Amino acid sequence: MSTTSYAGRTAIVTGAGSGIGAALARRLRACGAKVVTTDVAGDVDRLMDVRDLAGCRALVAEIGVPDLLFANAGVSMGGPTHELSRAHWDHVIDVNLNGVVNALLAVYPGMVERGSGHIVATASGAGLVAPPFVTAYAATKHAVVGLALGLRPEAALHGVKVSVLCPGAVETPILDRLPDQQLPPTPTRPVTAREYLSLLGQKPVDVDRFAHSALQAVGRNRAIIAVPAQARTLWYLNRLSPSVTDRIATAIARRVDRRLVQRLAS
């Protein structure tokens, strides 16, 4: 199924103020879809916090049950796990996992009643193969993958499709974003995703190219959509030989700790 199949369809995209969400919305509109974008800030149709279930339900009550839901809102958190407080964990879980659950609760029952729809949850390549020093982030993204894969066969009984996006390194503002300033500071300045990727020699792909590839895979109703190829390769390698990816992760942990974490702590 090509991206032209989105013409005339309605979609909600959360976390669309920038990055992947904004690129998905642009691409959907270019394909003729009617899109409602939400975020806590930015140039969106509705300012909304996905942590607020009542707000999610109010939006759907106002505009109706969409054909497509892109539950995309998320935050990153990088640094030594032993320095994270309960507040840090709660923040990541509330946005990355509970935000997806809230969007699901607002939309899925209506899709079941109607007998059609497609839910696309944004996880991460870190939700398929967990890298070190992003433990809270990886934990929530694994949970989103599990949610989507568990729901997919059940939802199919009602004519509803479910997919999960697992992006690798994509050029978005989240790469440079530090944790919310309202969170308690940690002894070591948190590691940004860009610093992490730069140390590993990974170059992010263009966000619009990602959105184009992702929507093509959504149109084909793929269960797990790992883009770009680097994310897909690592996922395949982990399935083939978990011991190999474990050794790779251990080597990465040593390198990040020695050349990045210890420097930021000094």
Alpha carbons 3 and 77: distance in angstroms, whole number? 33
34-39: strand order across its sheet? 46-47, 34-39, 10-13, 68-71, 117-122, 160-167, 224-227
Give the pLDDT confidence score for residue 11 in this predicted structure. 98
Give the pLDDT confidence score for residue 266 in this predicted structure. 55
3-state secondary structure the chain: CCHHHHCCCEEEECCCCCHHHHHHHHHHHHCCCEEEEEECCCCCCEECCCCCHHHHHHHHHHHCCCCEEEECCCCCCCCCHHHCCHHHHHHHHHHHHHHHHHHHHHHHHHHHHHCCEEEEEECCHHHCCCCCCCHHHHHHHHHHHHHHHHHHHHHHCCCEEEEEEEECCECCHHHHCCCCCCCCCCCCCCCCHHHHHHHCCCCCECHHHHHHHHHHHHHCCCCEEEECHHHHHHHHHHHHCHHHHHHHHHHHHHHHHHHHHHHHHC
Alpha carbons 195 and 202: distance in angstroms, whole number? 10
For 29-57, the pLDDT digits (tens) are 999 999 999 999 999 999 999 999 999 99
Lowest mean pLDDT among 29-43, 64-78, 120-134, 172-186: 172-186
pLDDT at position 1 over 80: no
124 CB burial (10 A radius; 0-12, 13-18, 19+) = buried
Active site residues: 137
Average per-residue pLDDT in the chain?
A: 94
Alpha carbons 108 and 206: distance in angstroms, whole number? 31
What pairs with residue 118 in β-bridges? Answer: 68, 161
For 133-146, the pLDDT digits (tens) are 999 999 999 999 99
pLDDT at position 172 over 60: yes
- Here the tokens at position 183 are 């969170």
As a whole number, mean pLDDT of residues 185-205 equals: 89
On whether the CB atoms of residues 124 and 243 are closer than 8 A, the answer is no
pLDDT at position 2 over 60: no
- pLDDT band of residue 188 (cuts 50, 70, 90) is confident
